[in-house]
Amino acid sequence: MPTSMLLTMVLCFGLSISVAVAIGLSSIVGAWQANVNLLTIVKEMFGAINKFPLAAIPFFILAGNLMESGGISARLVEFAKSIVGGVQGGLAATCVLTCMIFAAVSGSSVATTFAIGAILIPALIRHGYPTNFAAALQATSAELGVVIPPSIPMILYGVSAEVSIGELFIAGFGPGLLIGGALMLFVVAYARWKGYGKKDHEGRLSFVTATRRAALALLMPVIILGGIYGGIFTPTEASVVAVFYALVVGVGIYRETKVADLPRVLQKSVVSSAVIMFIIANAGLFSFLITRAGVPDQIGAFLVEWLQTPALFLIGVNAALFVIGMFIETSASIIVLAPILAPVAMHFGIDPVHFGVVMVVNLALGMITPPFGVNLFAACTVAKISVDRIISRLIPFVLVIVGCLMVITYVPTVSIGLRDLVYAK
C-alpha cells in the first residue's frame, strides 16, 4: 500500500497536479487497497481539520490581508527604512526588516510576499536593483513569516506533534532574529560589492516621524504577542484579536480600507484558507493510512539503526527535509512528517520544541527553492517576471539560510534558550 501511494503521488507531481489533490488521490488509492470504508475516510479527513488551534490559520491570513489593504504594511516599510535605510544597500535591508515586523502578525510568508513586495519590489527596481534580485530578496525575506511567531507552520507542527504552540512561538524568536540579521548583513555587503543602492537614503523619513506614523501598526504585534505570552489569550484567540485590530485601524483610523473593499479581502482570505484546510484534510487521511500500515515505526527503526547519534540524525533529517521541501508544500510536509519524526527525535533526546523549529526553518527553504517554491511564484507575480530568471539570484540567499539552519540545528540555545528562560525549564 505505501508503495502504490508514493507512486501515485509521484505520478501526480509529474502531471503537474496540485499538491493537495496529489495527496488526496494517493490517499484514495491507499484506502482502496486497504479496504477502508468511505465513512472512515470522511471521519479522518474531518478529524484532521476539526482542531481548535487550526482556527487561528484563517484569522491570521485575514489579518495579513487587512494589513495589506489598510495601509499598515506601507507604514511598516517607512518605519523600517528610517532605521536601516540610511546606508548603501539600506533599501534591501529595509525589505528584510519590514518582513520581520510584518511576520510578527501575519504568520504567513505568502501574505508577507504580496503585502510587502507590492511596495518594495518596485522601489528596489527604481533605486537601481535588478528586477530578479529584488524578487529573489523579497521571496527570501518573506520566509521569515513562518519562522517568527505567530507562525502557521508552527501551529500545524504543534497540533501534529502534540507540542505546546506557545513554547514553539517563543522558540521562534531566536532563529528568526538570527536569519533576519544574517540576511541584512549579507544584502548590505552585496549591494556595496555590486554598486547597488547608492541612493537608498532618498525619501527616508526621520525615525521620529516614521515611528509616529507607524505607531498603531507597531502596536499590533505588541498586543498580539504580549497577549499570548502574558496569558491574556491563546494563540487562536490572538488571531481573532489581530483581525479586529487590523479592521479598526485600517477602516476606522487610517481609512485606507473602504467598506466596499471588505468583500474582496474576505474572498481572498477564504480562498487561501480553503486551500490550506484542503491540504490538511488530505494530509490527515494520508497520515492515518501510512500510520496504519506501520510506516512510521519502520522509518523510526531505520533511522535509529543507521543514524545512531543525535548529530547524525539531525544532519540526515535536515538533508531529507531539504529535498522534500523542494517538492511538497510546507503545511502538508509538516502534517505528514511531524508525527513520524518527532517521536524519533525524542528517542535521541532532542527537545521536541527545538526539533519543531529545525523542521519549520528547513521546510521553509522549500518556499524559495524550485520547482514548487510558493514564495518564488508570489514574488515573480509581483515583479512580473518568470521564475527561471531569479534562480541564479537565489543561490546566495539559500546558502545564507542554510548556514543559519546549521547554527539553529546544533546550537539548541538559539531556539530553546528563551523558551527555557520564560517557562523556567
CA distance 295 to 332: 17
Cα torsion through 151, 153, 154, 158, rounded to 10: 140
Is residue 321 over pLDDT 90? Answer: no
Cα distances (Å, whole numbers) of residue 418 to 49, 85, 145, 227, 424: 31, 29, 19, 17, 9
Is residue 210 over pLDDT 70? Answer: yes
Better-predicted residue by pLDDT, 189 or 273? 189
The C-alpha cell of 282 is what? Answer: 488530505
CA distance 417 to 24: 39
The C-alpha cell of 118 is what? Answer: 507590492
The dihedral built from the CA positions of residue 9, 11, 14 and 20, taken in this order, carries a sign that is negative
Supply the pLDDT for residue 355: 95
Helix 19-33 crosses helix 330-347 at what angle (to 10 degrees)?
A: 60
CA distance 314 to 325: 16
CA distance 16 to 200: 41
Mean pLDDT over 84-105 rounds to 86
Number of CB atoms found within 10 A of residue 222's CB: 10
- State the chain's mean pLDDT as an integer: 84
Confidence bin at 425 (pLDDT 50/70/90): low
Number of CB atoms found within 10 A of residue 297's CB: 13
CA distance 267 to 179: 33
Q: Could you tell me what percent of the chain has a pLDDT over 70? A: 96
CA distance 228 to 216: 19
CA atoms within a 13 Å half-sphere pointing along the CA-CB vector of 386? 2
Q: What are phi and psi of 234, to 5 degrees?
A: -80, 165
The C-alpha cell of 359 is what? Answer: 523542521
pTM as predicted: 0.80
Helices (H), 15-151: 19-33, 38-49, 56-69, 72-84, 90-106, 109-126, 131-142
Angle (CA) 353-218-251 rounded to 5° is 115
The dihedral built from the CA positions of residue 322, 327, 332 and 338, taken in this order, carries a sign that is negative
The C-alpha cell of 325 is what? Answer: 521541501
Is residue 67 over pLDDT 90? Answer: no
The C-alpha cell of 231 is what? Answer: 496569558
What confidence tens digit (pLDDT) does each residue in 233-256 have?
Answer: 877 788 888 889 888 888 888 888
CA atoms within a 13 Å half-sphere pointing along the CA-CB vector of 216? 17
Angle (CA) 291-357-168 rounded to 5° is 95
The C-alpha cell of 162 is what? Answer: 502534540
Supply the pLDDT for residue 34: 84
What confidence tens digit (pLDDT) does each residue in 29-47 have?
Answer: 888 888 888 888 888 888 8
The C-alpha cell of 117 is what? Answer: 513586495
Helix (H) or strand (E) holding 148: none
